[in-house]
Structure 1
Amino acid sequence: MKILFYTPFKPLHHRNPSGDLVTATGIFDFLVQGGHEVIEASNLRCRWIYWKPWLWLKYFGEKRRILQKFGGACADLWFTYHSYYKAPDLLGPAVAGRLKIPYVIFQGIYSTKRRRQWTAKPGFYLNKSALRKADHLFTNKSVDLLNLKRLVAGNRITYVAPGIDPGEFEFDDHARAELRQQWNVGDVPVIFSAAMFRSDVKTEGLTWLIRACGELDRQGQSFQLVIAGDGRQREALQQLAHQHVADRVRFLGKIARQDMYRFYSAADIFVFPGIRESLGMVFLEAQACGLPVVAFDNAGVPEAVADGQTGLLVPMYELKPFVGAIKRLLIDNDLRRQMGAAAKSHVRQFHDIKTNYRELELTLNSIVNRRS
C-alpha cells in the first residue's frame, strides 16, 4: 500500500518526545518494515489551530500542496494518528475526499465534555466531523473505544492494544552490574522513574514520587531513588528532592530511548504516578525489562499494568497507599521478583507491537481492498 501518514498534534520528528509520538513512530516504522510505502504527508501542527488564524493560511497552502503532489500518484490510504479537540485533523478528511481514497484515524478521541468549554468547543466539532468522516477508527484505549461507539457504528472501530518491541527492552545483567557500581548502591533496592520535566502532570507526578520517598526515608526504609529526564522544572525538582531525600536521589538527565533498557535493568522497581497518562509507554518498557510497577490507578495506566500481577495501582492523590505500595515491593523480595517476571511475560504476551500491529495491517488491507 501507498500510505499518506499524518500526525496533527506534532510532526514525527518533533524535538520534544512523548508517548504519543513514540506510538506514531512505531506504527510508521512497522508499516515501512512491512513493505508499504509510507509518506509523511505534512508537518502542519493543528494544536489550537481554531484560535490561530495564521495557521489557517498554512492549512490551505498545505492542502493545495498535497493535492498537487499526490493528485495523480495513486495513494491507497490516508492514515491520521491522533485527532482530538486540541489538534483536530483538518487535512485528512479534505485530502482523502478529494483523492477518493479511504481515510482512517488511529487514536481518535471523542470527549463530549469539551463542547461545554468555550475555548475547546470549535475543536470539539472539528474533531467530531473528522471522526464521522473516517472510514475506520482505531484506538488503543478501552475508554476511548466506549466513547467512540457513541458516535459511530461499532463495526467501524477496532481496538489495538498499546505495544512496544520487547526486543528493544531486554534485561541486561552486565548493564545492571556496571550502573549499580557507578551509583555505589550495592544491594540497596533502586527505585527508578523517568519523565520529561515539563510544567504539567509529568512534574506533578515526580513531585508525588519525591514526597513519597521522603516519607519512606523518615520511616527508615533503605532505597536509592534514580530519576531519568530533563526539562524546565529540573531545578525545582532537584530542590524538592534535596529537601525530602537529600543523598538518596540521583538525577541522570535525559536518556536516549534506545539506552533506557540499561537503566531499567539496573533498577528494582519502576515508580511513576502517571497522572492522566494517555498510554504510559514507560510502564511497558519497564515491565519488559522485568520491573514491577507502582502507579496511580487512572487514565491509560491500567491499559499497560495488570494490577496485583505486574504491579500495584493505588487510588489517585492518596499518599499513604502510594507509600505503602512502594514499601511493600521494597521489603518483599519474593513479591518483587514474582511481579517482575509476570511483567516481562505480560508485555510479550499482550503488548508486542509486531503482533498487535499485524492486526492493524490486516484491517488496513481489507479497507483498501473494499474501496478498490
Structure 2
Amino acid sequence: MRIAFYAPFKPLGHPNPSGDLVIAGSLYDHLRKRGHDVRIVSTLRSRWIFWKPWNIVRVVLEKKRITRQLSGKTVDLWLTYHTYYKAPDLIGPDVCSSLRLPYVIFQGSYSTRVSRSFLTRPGFVLNRKALLAADLVLTNRRDDMVNLQRLLDLERLRHLPPGIHPSGFTRDDDARERMRQQWQAGERQVIVTAAMFRADVKTRGLIKVIESCGRLRRQGHEFLLVIAGDGRERQRLVSLAEKELGDRVIFTGRIDRDRMFELYSGGDLFVFPGINESLGMVYLEAQSCGLPVVAYNNGGIPEVVDDGRTGLLTEPFADSRFDEAVVRLLTDREERQQMGVRAAAHIRRRHDLERNYARLEQLLLEAVRHRKNRPEAR
C-alpha cells in the first residue's frame, strides 16, 4: 500500500520522547518494514492550534499543498495517528474528501465532557468532525472504544491491544549482574522506576515513588531505588530523594530505549503510580523483562497490567495501600518471581506488537478494498 501518514499531536522526530511518540514510530516502522510505501505528508503540529489563529493560514496552505501533491492517485490510504480535542486532525478529512481516499485514524479519542468548556470546545468540535469523516477508527484503549461508540457505529471501530517487541525487552542475566555491580546493590532488592522529569503527572508520580520509599526506609526495609529519566525537574527530584533516601537511591539519567532492557534486568520490581496514565509503555517493557508492577488502578493501566497476577494495582493516592503493595512484592520473593514469570508470558501472549500490527495491516487493506468498491470511487 501507498500510505499518507500524519501525526497531528506530535510529529515523528519530535525532540521530547513519550509513549505517544514511541507508538507512532513503531506503527510507521512496522508498515515500512512490511514493504508499504509510507509517506509523512505533514509535520504540522495541531496542539491547541485553534487558539493560535495566526496558524490557520498554515493549515489552509498545507491542505492545498498536500491535495496537489497526492492528486493523481499517488496514495491508497490516509492514516492519521492520534487525533483528540487538544490536537485534532485538521488536514486529513478535507484532503481525503477531495481525493476520495480512505481515511483511517489510529488512536482516535472522544469525550463529550470537554464540549462544556469554552477552552476545549473548539477542539472537541474539530476532533468530532475528523472522527465522523473516518472510514475506520482504531484504538488501543477499551475506554476509548466505549466512548467512540457514542459517536460511531461499531462496524467502523476496532480495538487493538497496545504492544511492544518482546524480543527487545527480555531479561538478560549478564546485564543483571553488570547493572547490580554498577549500582553496588549487593543483596538488596532493587526497585526500578522510569519517567521523563516533566513538570506534570510524570514528576508527581516520581515524587510519590520517592515518598513511598522514604516511608519504607523509616520502617526498616532494605532496598535500593533506581530512577531512570531526565528533564527540567531533575534537581527537585534529586533534592527530595536525598532527603528521603540518602544513599539508597541512584539516578541513572536518560537511557536510550534500546538499552532499557538492561535497567529492567537489574531490577526486582517496577514501581510507578501512573497518575491518569493513558497507557504507559514502561509497564509493557518492565513486564516483558519479567518484573512485576506496582501502580495505580486508573487510566489505561488495568488494560496492560493483570492485577493480582502480573502486578498489584492500588486505589489512586491511597498512600498506605501503595506502600503495602510495594512491601508485599519487596519481601515475598516467591510471589514476586511468580508474578514476574506471568508478566513476561502475558506480554508475549497479548501485547506482541508484530501480532497486533499484522491485524492492523489487514484492516488497512480492507479499508482500501472497501473504498475502491464504492460506486463513487469508480
Please, what TM-score do these two structures have when normalized by structure 1?
A: 0.99
| Equivalent runs, 1:158-307 vs 2, <5 Å | 158-307=158-307
The amino acid across from 1:24 in the alignment is: A
The answer to whether structure 1 residue 348 and structure 2 residue 348 are counterparts is: yes
The amino acid across from 1:117 in the alignment is: S
Aligned mates of 1:108, 1:216 — CA distance in 2: 41
Query: Is the partner of 1:115 in helix, strand or coil?
Result: helix
Structure 1 outlier segments of 4+, above 2 Å: none
Shift of 1:111: 0.6
The amino acid across from 2:317 in the alignment is: Y
Shift of 1:72: 2.0
Describe the superposition over 1:145-185 as per-residue Cα deviations: whole angstroms up to 9, x where unpaired.
00000001001000000000001111111111011101111
Describe the superposition over 1:93-135 as per-residue Cα deviations: whole angstroms up to 9, x where unpaired.
0111111110011111101000111100000000001001100
Which position in structure 2 is the counterpart of 1:149? 149
Aligned mates of 2:296, 2:361 — CA distance in 1: 33
Please, what TM-score do these two structures have when normalized by structure 2?
A: 0.97
Aligned mates of 1:186, 1:159 — CA distance in 2: 44
Shift of 1:187: 1.7
Shift of 1:370: 1.3
| Equivalent runs, 1:320-331 vs 2, <5 Å | 320-331=320-331
Which position in structure 2 is the counterpart of 1:60? 60
The amino acid across from 1:302 in the alignment is: P
Aligned mates of 2:119, 2:102 — CA distance in 1: 31
The answer to whether structure 1 residue 113 and structure 2 residue 106 are counterparts is: no
The amino acid across from 2:279 in the alignment is: L
Aligned mates of 1:84, 1:91 — CA distance in 2: 14
- What 5-or-longer segments of structure 1 have no aligned partner? none
Aligned mates of 1:11, 1:73 — CA distance in 2: 24
Describe the superposition over 1:231-287 as per-residue Cα deviations: whole angstroms up to 9, x where unpaired.
010000111111111111100111100000011000000000011111110000000
The amino acid across from 2:224 in the alignment is: Q
- Give the alignment's Cα RMSD to 1 decimal: 0.7
The amino acid across from 2:205 in the alignment is: G
Aligned mates of 1:121, 1:6 — CA distance in 2: 23
Which position in structure 1 is the counterpart of 2:366? 366
Which position in structure 2 is the counterpart of 1:136? 136
Aligned mates of 1:132, 1:70 — CA distance in 2: 22
| Equivalent runs, 1:56-135 vs 2, <5 Å | 56-135=56-135
Aligned mates of 1:67, 1:109 — CA distance in 2: 25
Aligned mates of 1:139, 1:371 — CA distance in 2: 21
Query: Is the partner of 2:15 in helix, strand or coil?
Result: coil
The amino acid across from 1:118 in the alignment is: F
Instruction: Calculate percent identity across the aligned residue pairs.
Output: 53
Which position in structure 1 is the counterpart of 2:315? 315
The amino acid across from 1:197 in the alignment is: F
Aligned mates of 2:64, 2:222 — CA distance in 1: 62
The amino acid across from 1:7 in the alignment is: A
Aligned mates of 1:251, 1:98 — CA distance in 2: 52
Which position in structure 2 is the counterpart of 1:5? 5
- What 5-or-longer segments of structure 2 have no aligned partner? 373-378
Query: Is the partner of 2:270 in helix, strand or coil?
Result: strand
Shift of 1:55: 1.6
Aligned mates of 2:204, 2:221 — CA distance in 1: 23
**Greater shift in the superposed pair: 70-79 or 326-335:** 70-79
Aligned mates of 1:202, 1:86 — CA distance in 2: 19
Shift of 1:73: 4.5
Aligned mates of 2:264, 2:246 — CA distance in 1: 22
Shift of 1:62: 1.3
Query: Is the partner of 1:285 in helix, strand or coil?
Result: helix
Query: Is the partner of 1:365 in helix, strand or coil?
Result: helix
Describe the superposition over 1:20-51 as per-residue Cα deviations: whole angstroms up to 9, x where unpaired.
11111111111111111101110000000100
Query: Is the partner of 2:247 in helix, strand or coil?
Result: helix
Query: Is the partner of 2:4 in helix, strand or coil?
Result: strand
Shift of 1:74: 2.5
Which position in structure 1 is the counterpart of 2:39? 39
